[in-house]
Amino acid sequence: MTTNHAFDPLAATYDAAFTDTIIGRYLRDQVQARLAQHFNAGDHVLELGCGTGEDALWLAQRGVRVIATDASPRMLAVAQAKCAAQPTVRVEPLDLQQLSSDSNPNFSLSTSPFDGVYSSFGPLNCLTEWRELAEWLAQRVKPGGIIGLGVMSPFCLWEPLWHGLHGTLRIATRRWRRSTRFQPDDNATPITVTYPTLRRLNRDFAPHFRPVYVRPLGLFLPPSDVFGVIEKRPRLLRLLLSLEQRFGHVRQLALLADHYWVEYQKT
């Protein structure tokens, strides 16, 4: 019987496998540097697909008030435990695929509009279109507010190179098919993962938001399934980190990275 959310089986090991790795930490530092540019102590922000709550905790420690949401009950449980000592974080269920339905009963539509919204490392890839989300956010974000989104890109250079060389062609080409099925174990309900181009996202957000910033995330650094191999080779890791530092801000390279980070401003 499949009853669990697709990400439930990953919740217990997510921090060890991603958050607490050297490469994961470097990439998250880049995201948090962007969050710090926009969100200040006292601001009220919404996180979509918070996972284990790492960014919510970080912002809360800086005095930002965060509503951290996710669709996976087990991810929410880890986030809740991690942020328990932070009175300025509220952890709530919110399924991005059910924005207009009653299955998000606990999500307080909030007393005041949000100063900003963010979503790190791929939650938006769990949607197949983004217009409904853009409409929903337009009603909840203040004019001038920033939305920062970390999205898995459709043309990640690493994936076809690495998996092509290792003969795993199905993974090597999965992003070119634009969408793949994700089901980490048999008890989890499968979901469709989609890899939108920047143009597609811009189009879906266009009625209410204008793009103001984009950068690659994980251009020379690999996707997370290869972290372990690279982190065992310190010289190679140092080289890739320095290349990432050097080229990681070149916006023209954003779509060649594992993720891109895009920011929209509410008009």
Ligand X SMILES: C[S@@+](CC[C@H](N)C(=O)[O-])C[C@H]1O[C@@H](n2cnc3c(N)ncnc32)[C@H](O)[C@@H]1O
List residues binding ligand X (CB under 6 A): 7, 49-51, 54-55, 70-72, 75, 94-97, 120-123, 126
What string of H, E and C letters represents the secondary structure of 42-90? Answer: CCEEEECCCCCCHHHHHHHCCCCEEEEEECCHHHHHHHHHHCCCCCCEE
Task: Quote the CA–CA distance of 265 and 206 in Å, as a whole number.
Answer: 10
Q: How far is the CB of 115 from ligand X (least distance, A)?
A: 19
Closer residue to ligand X in complex, CB, 141/193: 193
Q: How far is the CB of 85 from ligand X (least distance, A)?
A: 20
Q: How far is the CB of 93 from ligand X (least distance, A)?
A: 8
Closer residue to ligand X in complex, CB, 79/238: 79
| Contact indicator for 48, 96 with CB cutoff of 8 Å | yes
Q: How far is the CB of 259 from ligand X (least distance, A)?
A: 10
Which residue of the chain is nearest ligand X when measured via CB? 51
Closer residue to ligand X in complex, CB, 19/197: 19
Q: How far is the CB of 94 from ligand X (least distance, A)?
A: 6
Q: How far is the CB of 102 from ligand X (least distance, A)?
A: 15
Closer residue to ligand X in complex, CB, 96/157: 96
Closer residue to ligand X in complex, CB, 97/197: 97
Six token digits for residue 209: 């938001």
| Contact indicator for 118, 35 with CB cutoff of 8 Å | yes
Long-range (24+ apart) CB contacts under 8 A made by 18-25 are 18/121, 18/224, 18/227, 19/52, 19/54, 21/224, 21/227, 21/228, 21/231, 22/227, 22/231, 22/237, 23/218, 23/221, 23/222, 23/224, 23/227, 23/230, 23/231, 23/237, 24/224, 24/227
Closer residue to ligand X in complex, CB, 72/194: 72
